[in-house]
Amino acid sequence: MRRTFGAAAVLVSAMFAISACGGGSDPLASAPATPTTAGTAAGGGKAIVGSFNFPESVLLGSIYAQALEAKGVTVEEKPNIGSREVVYDQVKSGGLTVLPEYNGNLLAFVDPETKATTTEEINAELKTKLPAEVEIFDSSPAEDKDTLSVTQESATKNSLTTMEDLAKVSKTMSVGGYPEFKKRWEKTFKDVYGLEFKEWKATGDTTPNAVKDGTVQVGNVFTTDPKITTYGLVPLQDPKQVFPAQNVTPLVNKAGSNDTIKTTLNAVSAKLTTDTLKQMMQKISVDKDDPAVVAKEWLTTNGLG
């Protein structure tokens, strides 16, 4: 899933082959294209909407595509393409018009040395550091963001509300996350919050399960993961903003865009929240609903489709 596209993965992408990108083939040529059949109103224009190769990105791409269709834009979807290393270049070249992005990870990709953490800081830097061919539209309140999460039992027993609170017990705890998690965060956690863990374990996508069953006591769980709710996990607050903002944000090819595309995607961003995104991912990941159907339901409910 998106775990391979986080800031940590960006920094080590030269060493590790992040996601299945097709071994040198053109992912856009092989990706399943889904031309739409909606009518096209005058001035609606055309757009090719892509997505990364994980379910949440495919869902977001479908939301963008169907919202644009509803405004008379002729849309072609190219879902599930591959990694940022591939998909970003396609937006830049015009092979894609629109891509649902995460602003913090996008900035880390463009500038691995960035120190920006808030939504405002990140977007301000993106507007100056992105190449001339692309731009971002309005960020949504929805974030798929890193957290350190614990069980409700642990939170109650150890009076854990924030990451600062962990300092008093972290030496007795194991922490789990993606394979590069320790390399990416160990020094920062210690410097900012005084956290020193007994053991670091590579638990990957099974991190929520590892927290639940006690394999680790603390886990790097992402805010839209439905297992937070299913397992009753408690994401600890990050008052010093160690983890950068990861707002869902449209990345757009300037030459391929128009006012209809901009106003439509900004309207989507205005209504998309972390809670609603997590609810939609629950339907997809747990209930196995089709992303396009979930996207349509959300758009209809919010008067956007």
Positive or negative torsion for Cα 206, 237, 12, 79: positive
User: 146-235 is classed in which CATH architecture?
Assistant: 3-Layer(aba) Sandwich (3.40)
pLDDT, residue 43, reads 56
- From CA 292, how far away is CA 199, in angstroms rounded? 41
Q: Each residue's pLDDT tens digit in the chain (305 positions)? A: 444 444 333 333 333 333 333 333 333 333 334 433 333 334 589 999 999 999 999 999 999 999 999 999 999 999 999 989 899 999 999 999 999 999 999 999 999 999 999 999 999 999 999 999 999 999 999 999 999 999 999 999 999 999 999 999 999 999 999 988 999 899 999 999 999 999 999 999 899 999 999 999 999 999 999 999 999 999 999 999 999 999 999 999 999 999 999 999 999 999 999 999 999 999 998 899 999 999 999 999 999 98
Q: Evaluate whether 2-143+246-301 and 146-235 have a shared fold.
A: yes
Confidence (pTM): 0.80
Domain ranges of the chain: 2-143+246-301, 146-235
Which numeric CATH code is attached to 2-143+246-301? 3.40.190.10
Token pair belonging to 31 = 């990706």
For 9-35, the pLDDT digits (tens) are 333 333 333 333 333 333 333 333 443
